[in-house]
Amino acid sequence: MENIKEAVGSAQTELNRIVYEVEKVIIGKESLIKTTLAALLANGHVLFEDTPGIGKTMLIKALARSIDLKFSRIQFTPDLLPSDILGVSIYNMESHQFEFRKGPIFAQIILADEINRTTPKTQAALLEAMSEHQVTMDGTSYPLSDLFFVLATQNPIEYEGTFPLPEAQLDRFLVKLTIGYPTFDEELALMTGEDTALKLTHIQPVMSWERLSALKALVDQIFVDTAVVKYALRLVEATRNHPKIALGISPRGSLAFLKMARAMALLDGRSYCTPDDFINLVTPVFSHRILLKTKYSQDQHSTQAILNEIISSVSVPVRA
């Protein structure tokens, strides 16, 4: 146990360096940066639902630079084809064989920009790769990086000409996050400070991908007491029994809930999870996985109100 505590303490120090580097360009969003980093540690993917110009691309680029990972941006449009993402087989006239040319998905951090603007067929190609961690072309499988991490964005305001992700595909994302507008002082610092693009060049890689892989393995060693696991499951079950919810959290969602809580505990320098870890993750883990009944408005405000009800309705375990 002592060895785990030492490993977690060292990991927290290293992970805080990443947060510090990202905060050079993303001001006042420490909690959001940590949740994004936790999703990476938990081997999941992130869906950002926010208006344009908030800083999603800068956050993702800064994260990739701070860990020295290969970054790729894919702009989703209605005419984008699966082969534009995955790659294509081209016939080589000299060797008389088909050669596979890898697409932009063969990176470590992927920005899938405006994922709801492309067709369901292209969406499915990306989401299948996210699930399988490989691309299959002409009967041959090509593995993706062990650190393959997708951060997708969608605009919640514009619906014309978009293809909303169905619930089964939304469930592929570990968390859904919203950056939100900065405060007055934060935006003032942004406007009077150095150009954001220049700030990005100042970011230094503070962790290797090999070390990040080791920290991902450490997440599974974070202890979760049985009483705390039962509390998390009661929160999950409350979504399945709520009168305003048509579709509750799936078992895959409950496992995502547990994995994220462990990753957040590691970021906080703890070798164990607390009920607060789960409470703080209800919104990012649950909001895109539940489906409200038709007569209730399916918007973020209504969803959040219902999630708050669920948190209040489940008793928090008390340490004996």
* Cβ neighbours around 38 below 10 Å, total: 28
Among 163, 191, 220, the domain boundary falls at: 220
Q: With beta carbons less than 8 A apart as the criterion, state whether 61 and 200 touch.
A: yes
Residues 90 and 191 in one domain: yes
0.95 surpassed by pTM: no
Residues 42 and 61 in one domain: yes
How many structural domains compose the chain?
A: 2
Per-residue pLDDT of the chain (320 residues; tens, 9 = 90+): 558 889 999 999 999 999 999 998 888 899 999 999 999 999 999 999 887 788 888 888 899 899 988 899 999 999 999 999 999 888 888 877 888 899 999 999 999 999 988 898 998 888 888 888 888 887 788 899 888 999 998 877 666 667 888 777 888 899 999 888 888 998 898 888 888 778 888 898 999 888 999 999 999 999 999 999 999 999 999 999 999 999 999 999 999 999 999 999 999 999 999 999 999 999 999 999 998 988 777 666 788 999 999 999 999 987 65
- How far is residue 150's CA from residue 190's CA, in Å, rounded to a whole number? 27
Residues 211 and 244 in one domain: no
- How far is residue 264's CA from residue 12's CA, in Å, rounded to a whole number? 10
Among 197, 220, 243, the domain boundary falls at: 220
